[in-house]
Structure 1
Amino acid sequence: MVDFHSHVLFDVDDGSESLEMSMKMIEQSISEGVRILALTPHHIKGLFEQAMENKESYEEKFQFLKKKYEDRIELVKSVELMIREDLLEELQSGKTFGYGGSKTVLVEFNLLEVPTYAEGLFYKMKKEGYQVILAHPERNKALREDPELLYHLHDLGVLYQLNAGSLLGQFGEKVTKFSKELIKVNLIHAIGSDGHKDKVRDMRIRHAYEEMKELNPEAYERLLENSEKLIRGESVEVLPYKPWTESVKVRVKKKKKKSFLAFLGF
């Protein structure tokens, strides 16, 4: 198994608070059967900038953990990037980076909205050779209310990373239901624990792989084929998406959803 999303790096954001906690989190990943674990501290302007503002410290902590566990689990350094209009420029200048320094990047939205500039930004990133993985789309209110936005972004090459905790009900029943639907329609391409601590929001992830296998065996097999390639920055072939269920379409239609162009101000 590959874990695409964790906050194991200590003392840089709202994740691990100490080296001891980081070690407990990694041990939990190993016990879950994870072979490759990405360390993805937040990079949010004005809130969590320490990981990228002090890359030497990041590197020292990462190298210590990597060496300590090199015979038991592979650690990959990366960042969870809060979307912003100058994100491409930050990547190109080296201020931030993708998985293992590659052009495969983990990007997050806030939990309420899809920024009006997102489509244009992702289009430019794709043209420049970047592969965007959107973190936990199931937790975003706008996407849950208008699933068509997911299809628009996926048509631009955006892939989706599911939080394992979403299937455990950590973020509410609506998020859990939406997560299962994403799996069924082939719109989950990576799984992450999004582990923040050694308890509560921890590193459990095996159940998510198992539930995906049960809900959509074909998508599960493709996930296993793709995960290691994707986290190494290699290109992958994903399954075509399926139509959203009629019950959800009716629910969305009753809300008189706005089109994506309306979000762009047209």
Structure 2
Amino acid sequence: MLVDIHNHILPGLDDGPNSMEEATLLATNAVANGITHIIATPHHCNGEYMNVSSVVKEAVDHLNKELIDKAIPLEVLPGQEVHLNISILDDLNNDLLTLADSGKYILIELPRNHIPIFTLEILFNIQLRGLIPIIVHPEKNSVLRKDKQKLYELVSRGSLVQITASSLIGIHGRALKKYTKDLIKHNLVHFISSDAHHYKKRPFLLKDAYQYVRKKISEDYEMYYRENAKHVLFGTEFRPMQPISFNKI
């Protein structure tokens, strides 16, 4: 079993595939990466897209039927990439989906160029509800890129972190590759995911990322990330590695 917890495979909902045909091509690309289960996470509340839980679940059902008809060995489950906003706590009982609808993990996207003043409060209150927030692609946030210690502080307070496969293997340049590798060395990464959008322009690349971790870091880390993704799928908790501060004592 190989699980991808962050991607945009559902057609017509956001900046992912425009059609069911493109979605099935992306699904074929996932299978070529060894992926067996996908948690589909369309953008939600990011100022451009609104994909409430009922819409996501219906799209997942349609895609799974298409995959069965085309004999593509992949199972898709519902989720959302929720842009951090002040109304998240109110929406938890209505429009928001936990990953795989398991009632445990929620994917949180931060803005690109700042960290809102209410971030810590929102993440803390999400945890008080019994949920675990996963911060996606911190490498895209300019504040976290400049100050990695801020991400350490968020992880120390109970949040988890997911980096993107393409960043780790160098698709977006040496700087992001080094940044994500530094996060791994400080135990600030809990998941590697594809953030796939298109079968050609932004494919899955998860196989390459895991191979990189195995060769350049260790097999133990690769297995850690693989197993963590399974915990998300099943809604079970795991013990994260102890985060390492960037501040010298």
How many residues align structurally? 243
- Return the alpha-carbon distance in structure 2 between the equivalents of residues 171 and 116 of structure 1: 29
Aligned with residue 61 of structure 2, among 44, 50, 63: 63
Give the match for residue 259 of structure 1: none
- Return the alpha-carbon distance in structure 1 between the equivalents of residues 204 and 224 of structure 2: 23
Identity of aligned residues (%): 27
Give the match for residue 166 of structure 2: 165
Give the match for residue 244 of structure 2: 242
Give the match for residue 100 of structure 1: 100
Higher mean displacement: 179-188 or 18-27: 179-188
Give the match for residue 90 of structure 2: 89
Give the match for residue 233 of structure 1: 235
Give the match for residue 148 of structure 2: 147
Q: 1:149 to 1:244 in 2, by over 3 A?
A: same
- 1:11-26 paired onto structure 2 within 5 Å: 11-26=12-27
RMSD after superposition: 2.0
Q: 1:34 to 1:188 in 2, by over 3 A?
A: same
Deviation at 1:75, TM superposition (A): 1.3
Give the match for residue 130 of structure 1: 131
TM-score (norm 2): 0.90
- Return the alpha-carbon distance in structure 1 between the equivalents of residues 214 and 140 of structure 2: 21
Q: What is the letter of the counterpart of residue 98 of structure 2?
A: G
Is contact 1:133–1:159 with CA below 8 Å preserved after alignment? yes
**2:107 counterpart SS class:** strand
Is contact 1:163–1:192 with CA below 8 Å preserved after alignment? yes
- Return the alpha-carbon distance in structure 2 between the equivalents of residues 212 and 20 of structure 1: 32
Deviation at 1:64, TM superposition (A): 2.3
Q: Which residues of structure 2 form unaligned runs of 5+?
A: none
Q: What is the letter of the counterpart of residue 98 of structure 1?
A: T
**1:69 counterpart SS class:** helix
Give the match for residue 208 of structure 1: 209
- Return the alpha-carbon distance in structure 2 between the equivalents of residues 205 and 245 of structure 1: 31
- 1:160-199 paired onto structure 2 within 5 Å: 160-199=161-200
Is contact 1:132–1:158 with CA below 8 Å preserved after alignment? yes
Is contact 1:97–1:103 with CA below 8 Å preserved after alignment? no
Give the match for residue 81 of structure 2: 80
Q: What is the letter of the counterpart of residue 58 of structure 2?
A: E
Q: 1:220 to 1:88 in 2, by over 3 A?
A: same
- Return the alpha-carbon distance in structure 1 between the equivalents of residues 221 and 119 of structure 2: 26
